[in-house]
Amino acid sequence: MRARFFTSLLSAALLSSPALAQNNVAVGTLTCTGGQGVGLILGSQKSYRCTFSANAGPVESYTATVTKVGLDIGITGETVMVWTVLAATSDVRPGILAGSYAGAAAGASVGIGGGANVLVGGSSNSVVLQPVSVQGQTGLNIAVGVAGMTLR
């Protein structure tokens, strides 16, 4: 029941995002791992190690800080998040993902669980991170709210 609620919430967020309505091109995949920690009632802040595999070009490494504002209660183990990276052009320069992102987030886990995050930002808000699949996480956690991420 909870998973259906979170899926509905995420679907509404995805459909209402104006950035996703643009004619963006898939330019690669961003994979982030980490995020162990404790969620507080009003939010959380967690760190991740990320790699961007561009369709054309070298693999880039990033560090990420993800902040959730809203309901985030519980403890999570290592989380893996995978996004398709969409941009206005297929001409991707090094470091294009560096910057701040914002969007909607939802997730739940009891033992093994999942969630999803759609984020818009990067260089001049020209990058969209669209979930390839829901994130995988372990622990006991419920989270829903606004997510922000900074990639460096």
Amino acid at 61: S
- 47 close to 64: Cβ distance less than 8 angstroms: yes
What is the DSSP pairing of strand 43-54 with strand 59-76? antiparallel
Q: Smallest Cα–Cα separation from 33: which of 68, 67, 82, 69?
A: 82
- 107 close to 13: Cβ distance less than 8 angstroms: no
Question: Residue written as tokens 């090094």?
Answer: 94
The pTM of the full predicted model, rounded to 2 decimals, is: 0.71
62-118 tens-digit pLDDT: 999 988 776 666 666 777 888 899 998 888 889 999 999 998 766 555 555 555 567
**Domain residues of the chain, as ranges?**
2-151
Most distant CA pair in the chain: distance in Å? Answer: 43
Q: How confident is the model at residue 8 (pLDDT cuts 50, 70, 90)?
A: very low
Token duo for residue 15: 């459909």
pLDDT at residue 56, rounded to an integer = 84
3-7, 39-43, 47-51, 54-58 — which is least confidently predicted? 3-7
